[in-house]
Structure 1
Amino acid sequence: MRAAATDERRPQRPAVRTPADRRDRGTAVHDARRRRVPRAYAMLPPGQEASHDTQAGPLVATYLEAWLRRQALRVKESTLDLYRRDVALHFTPALGGRRLGDVRPVDIDALLTRLLQSGRSPTTVRRLHRELLSAFETATELGLMTENPARAVRPPARSRREMRVLSVDEARRLLAAAAGTPMHPLLYTALETGARRGELLALRWADVDLPSRELRVRRTIREFSGRGIVEMEPKTHRSRRAVALSAEAVGVLRQHRVEQGVRRLRLGARWREHDLVFPSGIGTHWRPSNMRRAFQALALGAGIESVTFHTLRHTCASLMAMQGVPITSISAQLGHASSAITYAIYAHVLPGMQHEAASRVASALR
């Protein structure tokens, strides 16, 4: 009878390895989780905190919505918009119906594999893996999961595909195709300065000092679905920068300002003044989506394929590197957070610079 009573006792929980590398009872870990659960409930919508299975946790979809609300207090709006899109398009459809505690590394690996097979780039899939890693790490810290399943999943290797850069001939053809249109001064400024699209579309005449041949990047714009255009701080603190202009660029911008003034007078009350250097046809912000379509049509008309507006930034940097401009100067011009980032992106053009440097040293020693 005692044996029967022993068999009916509640089975022991499996032993686990604690951070101190001691063997401890699973009940101790469970108790620790239970103590953290009240803090975790604060993330969940009203009514959800008592409705989920305390062993497996809330549904992934419910948790991710709570995680997004939490992230709204911690990240930039542009980053939050990206998180929301990825949750809606990828994470919720694939994992949303599962309980947090039921998500396994194999589930995440299968999701990332499907994304790669569907044509998503390794860079995109690596980003999605980082987002899942962050979301599940928060769940682990709050006691909603015992471990982060994304940690056991290896993301794809970085893509080694060389970036697209315009040749000098392609750049000239693109500018020639844009001649006489509002796109021409925008493209010329982009090719010379390497400024980002959002930085140029947010640029105001008050930021441009033509006599001093300088413009200052102080803001950028982003286009959000359902919200339209939003002005915001530049990407990094080094993105707030002064950019030198050539005499040719100053001439292009002077002529552009005259033509903009003529258009403003012609439209009269229909013109909405915002002091923008590269506005829409009525003076408001030029929507990045509209500008992108106009740019693609222009490039195709010039016989230039596989190009985006960001290609102009890469082209500017590559041309500077090939002309022997120091990497620190290129980094400052582009507003990169560090010279190391610039070096990593444009390493493919640096061998030519090194040969040129060696030749100059040899000439000096003759």
Structure 2
Amino acid sequence: MLTVRQALQRVGGELLIVAPKTQRSARRVALPAECITEGTGQGLVFTTKNGTPIEPRNLNRSFEVLCVRAGVRKVRFHDLRHTCASLLHEQGADARMIMEVLGHSSIRVTMDIYTLVRLDSQRSAFDRVGDALRGDGNDLDDDDGAAVSG
């Protein structure tokens, strides 16, 4: 479990630990075991090897190197929020849960900005619609219970 209760922000050229932007930003987020590592005394998620706050520009540079090594498209570190939302959405997570994970105050923001329906997900959904229209075991019913056929 990750508890968001502080953020690292550059203020006047200096990195400071500050309160989250909004009350909604302060939240608890369940994480998969693969994302859990031993924390630091300051309770930070991303740190230097010494456990001190990491300079955001260094984090971005390190992330770019990892993208190149992994052979994946270069994106901004912040764009991982989009990836997280999209993956949760594709795995069947409901909009409210995704909204809470991201700390949004509105489901509309979450769904309009942070979730992208991948083309293969669209194809799979329409393949199922095609199966139903062909009568491949999943007939569509009209209001009186009669099967609809084409």
TM over 0.5: yes
Structure in which a larger fraction of residues adopt helix: 1
Within the alignment, does 1:314 sit opposite 2:101 as a pair? no
In the alignment, structure 1 residue 278 sits paired with structure 2 residue 46: yes
From the superposition, tell whether residues 339 and 220 of structure 1 become closer, same or farther in structure 2 (CA, over 3 Å). same
Q: Does 1:242 align with 2:31?
A: no
Deviation at 1:331, TM superposition (A): 0.4
- Which position in structure 1 is the counterpart of 2:57? 289
Asked whether the 8 Å contact 1:320–1:330 carries over to 2, the reply is: yes
CA contact (8 A) 1:236 1:337 kept: no
Do the aligned residues in 1 keep the contact of 2:67 with 2:74 (CA within 8 Å)?
A: no
Structure 2: state its 5+ residue gaps.
Answer: 130-137, 146-150
1:177-217: CA deviation from partner (whole Å, max 9, x where unpaired): xxxxxxxxxxxxxxxxxxxxxxxxxxxxxxxxxxxxx2211
Pairwise CA distance, 1:275:
4.4
Residue 300, structure 1, aligned to residue 87, structure 2: no
Is contact 1:236–1:336 with CA below 8 Å preserved after alignment? Answer: no
* Structure with bigger gyration radius: 1
Read off the aligned partner of 1:217 and give its amino acid letter. Answer: V
State the secondary structure of the residue aligned to 2:61.
helix
Aligned residues: 128
Task: Percent identity, please.
Answer: 37
Q: How does 1:43-82 map to 2 (within 5 A)?
A: none
Which residue number in structure 2 is paired with residue 219 of structure 1?
Answer: 6
Kept in 2, the 8 Å contact 1:322–1:349? The answer is: yes
Change (3 A) 1:238 1:301: same
Deviation of 1:245 after TM superposition, in Å, equals: 2.2
Normalised by the size of structure 2, how large is the TM-score?
0.69
Whose strand fraction is larger, Structure 1's or Structure 2's? Answer: 2
SS, match of residue 349 in structure 1: coil
Aligned amino acid, residue 67 of structure 2: A
> Is contact 2:5-2:26 (8 Å) kept?
yes
Matched residue of 1:239: which SS? coil
Matches within 5 A, 1:130-149: none
C-alpha separation in 1, matches of 2:14 and 2:6: 16
Q: Show CA shifts across 1:35-65 (max 9, x none).
A: xxxxxxxxxxxxxxxxxxxxxxxxxxxxxxx
CA shift, 1:240, in A, is: 1.0
SS at match of 2:9: strand
Question: Against the structure 1 CA distance between its residues 349 and 275, is the aligned structure 2 distance closer, same or farther, given a 3 Å change threshold?
Answer: closer
* Helix, strand or coil at the partner of 1:316: helix
TM superposition shift of 1:347: 5.6
Contact 1:221 1:230 in 2 (8 A): yes
Match of residue 337 from structure 1: 105
Aligned partners of 2:28, 2:50: CA distance in 1, in Å? 28
| One of 229, 240, 259 as aligned partner of 2:15 | 229
8 Å CA contact retained: 2:90, 2:117: yes
**Cα gap change, 1:348 to 1:295, in 2 (>3 Å):** closer
Equivalent residue of 2:52, what SS? coil
What are the ranges of 5 or more consecutive residues in structure 1 without an aligned counterpart? 1-213, 262-272
Q: CA deviation at 1:316?
A: 1.0
Q: Which amino acid is the alignment partner of residue 91 of structure 2?
A: Q
SS in 2 for 1:221: strand
> What's the C-alpha RMSD, in Å, of the aligned pairs?
3.1
TM-score w.r.t. length of structure 1: 0.31
What SS does the corresponding residue of 1:238 show, helix, strand or coil?
Answer: coil
